Structure formats: structure tokens, C-alpha cells
Amino acid sequence: MPQTETPGTEAASGTARLRWWTELPLLVLVYLCYSAGRLLARGDVSTAVDHGLAILRVEKLLYLNAEHPLNRLFTAHAWIGVPADFWYASLHYLVTPAILVWLFRSRTLHYRAARTWLMASTSVGLIGFSLMPTCPPRLLSAGHGFVDTMAQYSSYGWWGGEASAPRGMGGMTNQYAAMPSLHVGWALWCGVMLWRHGGTRLAKTAGVVYPLVTTLVVMGTANHYFLDAAAGAAVMGVGLLLTPWAMRTADRARAWFASRVPALAPGLPADSPAPSASVVSGGCQTSPGERIPRQRESRLRPGVEPDVSPSDAGEGAPAAAR
């Protein structure tokens, strides 16, 4: 027999289908808050320069110096530097939303956790921008040996000499938000999604190549230090650890809100009656015309009472007259 489904079970189990008209405003709001937070976290330029020089000193102590040879390679060969600048200025804002849309449409069961991971990590990165404004290598004085490839090849693209933003909009970005590198962090997130949910060898290969190439690009274009890239990966790790807590908190908030505004809760509206069942027993519902077990169909005409056999009536009942 068909089983009845308790109203609200789907929402309670956390598998309620998300709708694009609620997801899109949420993501736009988070990105606007992130962009505004970057602008508010500019800090003092001299402090940002000091932080950048401190990172260089730490890398020197650790014998890390990938930025200088990569930057010289990118500036000496335009066929490498120009695509790298396009990579840095565009894919960060194209691949990540594309992966989100793909997960939403094709990997629905994994979308919410993946989206929450990305949002939590971005929030942690914003804290890093606020606490440690850092001057990128390209904005250090020329004596430190870095060349700004974005400025060198600006005639090839839409970006200006100030930043990777479109020409004339450089003042609307925070050029001292180098630590951590969310270019690397978001690329790592995209790579994990492609590796885990891509399902094909090509997708898995792209999941490995994309974050690795992005790491080389951010250093070769002198936009980030190696430790910035490492911090971007660490931020994604922290965001991953925070994801279960963030999802539980969101579920509690949703349940609290639904209990106070039941008309907006998933399932039936608050003023609509629950569907009636003809016979309900042990959580089972019979459809109209269906008999419960051991129920016999009456073949008598309307208004005629059926005979009751002694076995049905019981031992104490008198026998029927013959």
C-alpha cells in the first residue's frame, strides 16, 4: 500500500530543493559585501608595504624565490605574459560562477555544501585583508626587481595600469589585498569540485591544472607572493572546517524563522487543511476504493444485512435458525 509522506519531511531532512531566485540574490549579496569589505580594508599604504617586505624576508629565510624568475619570464616573453594577464584578470570571475551554476544544475545534492564552503572561505579571506593589508610585488619600488606585467601589457587588454580592473576603475579596487590570495583559493575550490564531481578524465585533469596554473600566474604577474598563494590554500582549508557549523547554523535559523512565519515554511500553507485519508493505520494510507487486509467485499444489495456465520460471530452467539 502507498505510504503517506509527512508534510515538511523534505525540508526537515535538509534536502529541500534550492531555487535559483533565492540563490542568485544570496550570492550577489555576499559578493557585494566581499567587494565592499575589500575597499574598507585598504589600511595604510606604508603598513601594506612593510607587510610585503616582511613576506619577502620570510621567503628569503625559507629559500623561497619563485616570484622573481617567473616575473622575468613573463615580462621577457609577451606570448606568455599577455595570456597570463588575461588569465588573472578574467578567469577568476568567470570559472568560479560557472562551476557554481554547473553544481546547482547538475550536482544538486552537493551544491549547498560547496557553496557554503566557498562563502565561508571568502569571509575568512576578508578577515585576512583587514588584519594584514599587503602590498603586492608589482607595487614595490623598482629596486626589488619586480615588473608590473598588468601595466606592461595593458594595451592588449581592458585593464588599466593601476590594477586588473577595467580602465578608469582602478580606484574602485583594493590593490593592497594581497594576503591571502583568493585567486588561488577560489581556483583550488574549482579544482576540488571538478575532481570530485566532474566524472571524466578531462574534468579531473582540469581540476589539477587550473589551480596550479593560477598559482604560477599570480606570481609571474607579480600580483602575489608565494606565501600569499599558500595562505589562500590555507584559507580554503579553514573554510572547509567551518562549513558543517555554518550549515547547521543556517538550518537552525531557517527552522526558527519558519516556526514564527509558518506561511513561508516549506510544505503546505499554514491555513490549508491537511489532506484527509480514508483509512490510516500504522502510517499507511489506503486510496479510495482500496480494502484493508482481510476486508471482504460485500455482494449484498443495499439495505440487506449480511448473515453472520458462527465462526465470525463468536462462540457465545446463538446459531441462526434453519
The full DSSP string for 192-220 is HHHHHH--SHHHHHHHHHHHHHHHHHHHH
**pLDDT at position 257:** 78
C-alpha cell at 41: 580594508
Res 86 pLDDT > 90: yes
For the record, the C-alpha cell of 16 comes out as: 529541500
Residue 134 phi, psi (nearest 5): -135, 130
In the chain, where the domains are located: 56-150+173-253
Question: For the chain, what percent of residues have pLDDT higher than 90?
Answer: 44
Using one digit for the tens of pLDDT, what is the confidence trace for 244-257? 999 899 889 888 87
Q: What is the mean pLDDT of residues 214-220?
A: 97
Q: 195, 204 in Cβ contact below 8 A?
A: yes
Q: Which pLDDT band, with edges at 50, 70 and 90, does 259 fall under?
A: confident
Residue 309 in grid coordinates:
456465520
CA distance 21 to 211: 30
Q: How much is the average pLDDT of 140-153?
A: 91
Per-residue pLDDT at 162: 62
Name which of 198-212, 231-245, 251-265, 273-287 the model is least confident about. 273-287
pLDDT at 269: 43
Q: Provide mean pLDDT across the span 92-104.
A: 91
d(C-alpha 236, C-alpha 79), whole Å: 32
- Overall average pLDDT of the 9-32 stretch: 59
pLDDT mean across residues, the chain: 77
Q: State mean pLDDT over 120-129.
A: 90
Residues 254-268, mean pLDDT to the nearest whole number: 66
Of 107-111, 133-137, 147-151, 164-168, the one with minimum mean pLDDT is 164-168
Per-residue CA distances from 203 to 63, 98, 102, 105 (Å): 34, 14, 12, 17
Average pLDDT over residues 224-241: 96
CA distances from residue 302 to 165, 183, 237, 273, 297 in whole angstroms, order as listed: 85, 80, 74, 33, 13
Q: Find the range with the poorest average confidence among 77-81, 155-159, 300-304.
A: 300-304
**123 is written with which cell numbers?**
569571509
Say what the pLDDT of residue 178 is: 87
Tell me the C-alpha distance between 54 and 108, whole Å. Answer: 44
Identify the residue with better confidence: 154 or 270.
Answer: 154
Higher pLDDT, 137 or 21: 137
Mean pLDDT of the region 189-200: 94
Q: Give the separation between CA 122 and CA 186, rounded to whole angstroms.
A: 8
For the record, the C-alpha cell of 263 comes out as 506561511
